[in-house]
Chains A and B, each alone.
Chain A
């Protein structure tokens, strides 16, 4: 008889060959719930409101797998007929210009599972496209992140933010 579902139930599970120490093994992506998402460029203005906390657009809007994304509650900046709103959730992945006083204005939208790397030109000429990525909304998240990366402003080489 075939097994329809695979999951780990803990250290006592005889199927748990992966990790005998913590009793947990990463699960497959079956059953994962994923949404399309896009960084809301209109919210970059908030990142420029606090002196010494400003950041260029392409660095602010770049999203890599494993980052927490949040969306703005009751946003009046939303355009009702924007087709993006029918296909994706608008969110941000950077907290520049924001502090713990702003928590009530935002809600959790998901953990990114794909990347959206913006170009340096978008910082000088303005956002050119709505570049979509995906966020994981429910189910286990097992994304392995070595470091959070951000583009170097002067070139396209990568630098550790660390």
Chain B
């Protein structure tokens, strides 16, 4: 899948989904703003973790993910 977040995703790191911060609101008038993926931001918050990245990906690059059950 595509790393559409703001930073790189390292191999083996936990990946979570985010809507984007308040600054993202109003930046995409007329466009569908997609749900983003990024590395897990807080160690204690695993509610939004969707899986583990299997390879490294910079912003805009593809990576494979092992989806968490």
Contacts and interface: CB of A to CB of B under 8 A. Distances in A.
Interface string B35-66: 11100000000011011001110000010111
B58 to A, nearest CB: 14
Grouping DSSP codes into helix (H, G, I), strand (E, B) and loop, the A interface class, with mixed when no group exceeds half, is loop
Contacts, number: 127
Contacts of A6: none
A145 B1 CA distance: 6
Interface in B14-36: 17-22, 24-36
B20 A96 contact: no
A24 B64 contact: yes
B33 to A, nearest CB: 5
A100 B34 CA distance: 13
A115 to B, nearest CB: 14
Contacts of A98: 19
A16 B4 CA distance: 29
Contacts of A141: 1, 51, 64-67
B55 A24 contact: yes
Give chain B's interface residue range (CB within 8 Å of chain A). 35 or more
Give chain A's interface residue range (CB within 8 Å of chain B). 35 or more
A62 B54 CA distance: 27
A101 B62 contact: no
Interface string A93-137: 111111111111000101100000000000000000000000011
A140 B66 CA distance: 4
A53 B29 contact: yes
A111 B32 contact: no
A108 B28 contact: no
Given A53-B25, A99-B22, A68 B34 contact: yes
Contact of A24 (B34, B50, B54): B54
A75 to B, nearest CB: 17
Contacts of A93: 32, 34-35
A95 B35 contact: yes
Contact of B37 (A53, A56, A68, A147): A68
Query: Shortest 9 CB-CB distances between A and B: which pairs?
Result: A52-B26, A145-B2, A95-B19, A68-B35, A94-B32, A98-B19, A66-B1, A52-B29, A138-B69
